[in-house]
Amino acid sequence: MDIKSVIAQMTLEEKASLLSGLDFWHTKPVERLGIPSVMVSDGPHGLRKQDDQADHLGVNESIKAVCMPTACASAASFDRDVLRQIGEAVGDACQHERVAVNLGPAVNIKRSPLCGRNFEYFSEDPYLAAELATSIVKGIQSRNIGVSVKHFAANSQENRRMSSDSIVDERTLREIYYPAFESAVKDGRAWTVMCSYNRLNGEYASQHRQLLTDLLRGEWGFDGYVVSDWGAVSDRVKGVHAGLDLEMPASGGTNDKRVVDAVRAGQLDEKDVDLAVERILTIHQRYLDNARPDTPWDMEAQHQLSRRLAAECMVLLKNEDGVLPIRSGEKIAVIGKFAREPRFQGGGSSHINCFRIESLMDALEGTEGVAYAQGYDIVTEEPDEALIAEAVEAARKADKAVIIAGLPDAFESEGYDRTHMRMPKCQVELIRRVSQANENTIVVLYNGSPVEMPWIGCAKAVIEGYLGGQAVGGATKDVLFGDVNPCGRLPESFPHQLEDNPSYLTYGGEGDVAVYSEGVFVGYRYYDRKKMDVLFPFGYGLSYTTFAYSNLRLSAQSITDQDELTVSVDVTNTGAAAGKEVVQLYVGDRESTVFRPVRELKGFEKIFLEPGETKTVTFTLGKRAFAYWNVQLHDWHVESGVFAIEIGRSSRDIALSCEVSVSSTTEIPVRFTVDSIFDDLMKSPKAMAKLAPLIDSVKRSMGFGGESEAASAAISNEMMEAMIRYMPLRTVGSFSGGAMSYDQLSALVDAINEA
């Protein structure tokens, strides 16, 4: 298709019609010009294709498909290859089912554990989220299926999600909330981006030109189309001009007519309409040119893949006395409703209609020495004494008790936020009672977000399984019995209680105003800066073996911000079992003029090591690893100084560290006025060259010469220096007894600025 030629043949009404959906899932065709309709579909960790009744919240049933580990779980893999494989599997399913665009991944930052949609998001850390999002984007699009990176931008709550206004400062947006989108666009070459429901600093994302055109296209080079979240459009005409190309779902022709009327009234340039049509058709033609509906979709093979990947994502949080893995011949009591009916995905638009679900009890079928007790129900939080008594009796007869617990569907879902971090009371009581009956109690959690663990002291071992997809039961068995050595790491901090979270005081907002008052101090950036104790830190995870780090080395001891720094470290498996280690690299500015975290993740690699084997892991750091967003420059800036290079097992467990000196090649322009204080002036060599005599005269005029005992007693030298540092230059006119006029001071400032 010669797209520009086709657009030239269209009527204005035909062009406007292409800017909204045909229904919930299809774009409109223009049959007379040979423009077909294409289908888009939900499900970033699988395919949620609906053929008949349409909805966007997962209410109506979709076709049978495969549910891979959700983002909360796959992020715990700390493994780009895991995300790539998930993407390839989803891409194959989309090709088979003639779906042009898979609506995901969702890459919003986990600002609070309460967000109802956290199970769809990767991390509290922007670098980790960016790397994993880009990997799944590349995986899906390697099959010539488009993605829709969502929800752009600053969509970190479900409360009032269609009307809330996220108030976020420029630096925080750049450092925390934009990077995952930026990487998916720049490095992943995402075909489409989905705007969010919310406002951002006063303007709906669907009509935010600075966001959708200036930043996304002008700065990041995005060449695809922007689609609205379903029902996110406020003013369609403003949206077209802002860069919102496709409105979904269908508007019944209402907004199409508004676009036409606006063009004819001179309120909207038809070139904006043409550009939107061109973007949409270009992406859809990319799919149509590479459509392969004969692509095999082996669901059973994908199920086995889902099981392998889910095991890679599980995080071993505790393992006292080496109670795990379970040994051959040990009798075990498996307890919990989730052991038979696992919770493995979240509710809402990403809910997959699985062709098969594998529970732990399914995976254990035929295994000797296994007893089962339900333990709790999910229809109520209240403990059921009969169920608990049955579980306690089973635990007493076993060598080890395995409790499968977590959060029911009702606790977390798209559409609403959690109000607390607690687990159901019935599960907490069950864990306490079972652990009293069997000291070797193991707890496995299926949940999409962190939970408080008042029972942590009762359990010998704890595994965080997150929402691991339809084969989570098989993956759980593989980890429990040591067929897979756990190698997941927490992609988010687990605070002891909700009140510890940095967003606690303002999360959810007041009315429609949600102020991101914690700024860049999200997650571990806050906890580490505060030196606050947490239940489990970011990046944490245990193994059935042990690893040692040594020989940390840098390619240079000093660099400029235009240079790359190579960091290498040796890692040795010092235990008796083969396993995978996640090597984490953090960077911290030792001394900064702006508020910065103690350390920030800037690299990670997952490596496999046999017992006794050593491998060298190498990282390459560029300018962004050392930079912060400077709001004066509106650009990334590195301050000259010393930076810590740290290799850690988590943000709280730093195994090795060294330092590098980085020199900035960018000078921040500084202009002084008569209101500038001496503290700032004294930091400038060119200012001090002209001000030194003035400072001495100010000291003398204020009687700070130490001539009398009374003066010395009243004002110390330290107090005198502090008082002068914070005085504006204009006060010289007052304290010099008229020796320097305001005009003379103004002239002096001009001379300093011109020097």
Q: How far is CA 279 from CA 3, 269, 377, 504, in A?
A: 10, 16, 51, 41
- Token pair for 742: 């305001």
Nearest to 237 by CA among 255, 250, 215: 255
Q: What whole-number distance in Å separates Cα of residue 540 and Cα of residue 654?
A: 11
- Cα distance between residue 552 and residue 555, in whole Å: 10
What DSSP state is assigned to residue 585? E
Alpha carbon of 706 to those of 48, 693, 727: distances in Å?
81, 18, 20
Alpha carbon distance, N-terminus to C-terminus of the chain: 61
Contact 3, 281 (CB under 8 A): yes
- Beta-carbon contacts of residue 85 (< 8 Å; ≥ 6 apart): 139, 305, 309
Q: Is-contact 90 469, C-beta < 8 A? A: no
Q: How far is residue 244 CA from its own chain's centroid?
A: 24
Instruction: Tell me which H or E stretch contains 588.
Output: strand 579-589
Q: How many residues can be counted in the chain?
A: 755
3-state SS string over 214-268?
A: HHHHHHCCCCCEEEECCCCCCCHHHHHHHCCCEECCCCCCHHHHHHHHHHHCCCC
* Beta-bridge mates of residue 641: 662
Which amino acid does the sequence have at 582? V
Q: 3-class SS at 5? A: helix
Active site (catalytic) residues: 229
Task: Return the SS3 of 278.
Answer: helix
459 touches 400 (CB < 8 A): no
Name the amino acid, one letter, at 511: G
Using alpha carbons, list the distances in angstroms from residue 61 to 41, 49, 54, 58, 630: 13, 9, 9, 7, 49
Phi, psi of 369 (to 5 degrees): 75, 25
Q: What does the block give as tokens for 451?
A: 């939970």
E-only strand ranges, 356-399: 370-373
In whole angstroms, give the CA distance from residue 448 to residue 425: 18
* CA 444 – CA 325 distance, rounded (Å): 13
